Amino acid sequence: MLNLNQIATNLISLVVFFILLFGFTKILGPIPFDITQVTTSKSDAFSVTGEGKVEVKPDSAIVRLGVVARAKTEEAAKNLLNTNINKVISSIKALGVAEDKIKTENFSIYPEYSNVRPVPAGAEPVDQNTISGYTGSTNLSVTVDTAGLANRIIDAGVSSGANQVGGVDFQVKDKTAALNQAREMAVKDARKKAEDAARIAGFKLGKIINYSEGQNGDYPRPLAMAADKAQGGSVPTEVQAGTNEIAVTVTLSYEIR
């Protein structure tokens, strides 16, 4: 049996130990304890890309027309430019096009230069830039709902003074339905490719862990331009709307099991 002296010695030793531990943590901070955690994960993945395309008939068009005018003075060039483009705008409005569908995209007047200034007979020519005249340029974009009206706008604009035709851009106003259809086709295409690859290579597909897509634009597919074969007079413009291609590309990433 322990005597009282031994018990007292043990108690004193225990108290001294805790006093020393308290002092150590106060001076040097808490005693560090390291716990090592190991996490493992399986990162094998397989990605495949599919594409879906839908052709849609355009329901609107943008016609671009312009006027270029030249004169000796800046004021004369401006007046000639305004006179001609106003005639073009009036002819377009006469077809029933609302004013808010006609937009001026550019209006500029700039000088033209001659490199040699006239000098008196017998004198040496001076190579110096001089203004020989001014050129004015302006362009319109006209938004319409039918290809037939686009053709009439080109003819009316040219007949009334437009000497620049920038082309016709056929568009689809609301592409939502076509995009969804193309997206569905792209996903089916990607799934089919993934299933075929898994079967051929001998692995199993897990869940889809990533999805991404891109839209490849609204590409026009115009038909050939036709013309009236009638003899004499102006040949009417017949730009055909054709179809627009809506394309979606989808990438699916699968876990591999």
Whether 51 and 84 map to the same domain: the answer is no
**Is residue 39 in some structural domain?**
no
Let me know the angle formed at the C-alpha of 254 by 248 and 257, rounded to the nearest 5 degrees.
160
CATH of the domain at 150: 3.30.70.2970
Average pLDDT, integer, range 142-167: 89
Do 203 and 250 reside in the same domain of the chain? Answer: yes
Please tell me whether residues 166 and 70 are part of one structural domain.
yes
CATH code assigned at 219: 3.30.110.170
pLDDT of residue 220: 52
Residue 85 lies in a domain: yes
Give yes or no: residues 91 and 18 share one domain.
no
Our count of domains for the chain comes to 3
Do residues 164 and 66 share a domain? Answer: yes
pLDDT of residue 40: 36
- Distance between CA atoms of residues 25 and 23, nearest Å: 6
**pLDDT at residue 138, rounded to an integer:** 94
Provide the b/e sequence for 5-27 (b: ≥16 CB within 10 Å): eeeeeeeeeeeeeeeeeeeeeee
Is there a single domain that holds both residue 102 and residue 131?
yes
Residues 81 and 167 in one domain: yes
* Same domain membership, residue 228 and residue 209: yes
Q: For 177-180, which contacts have Cβ atoms below 8 Å and span 24 or more sequence positions? A: 178/54, 178/56, 178/246, 179/215, 179/246, 179/248
Choose the final residue of a domain: 139, 155, 171: 171
Please give the pLDDT value at position 130.
81
Give the separation between CA 27 and CA 33, rounded to whole angstroms: 17
pLDDT of residue 94: 94
Q: Is residue 3, in this structure, part of any structural domain at all?
A: yes
| Better-scored residue on pLDDT, 16 or 92 | 92
- Give the confidence band of 254 by pLDDT, cuts at 50, 70, 90: very high
Same domain, yes or no, for 161 and 215? Answer: no
22 vs 104, more confident: 104
For residues 75 and 161, state if they share a domain: yes
In a domain, 40, yes or no: no
Q: Is residue 23 part of a domain?
A: yes
Same domain? 75 vs 153: yes
Whether 137 and 162 share a structural domain? yes
For residue 43, what pLDDT band results from cuts at 50, 70 and 90? low
Under the banding of pLDDT at 50, 70 and 90, the label for residue 93 is: very high
Answer yes or no: is pLDDT of 234 > 70.
no
Quote the domain boundaries for residue 12.
1-32
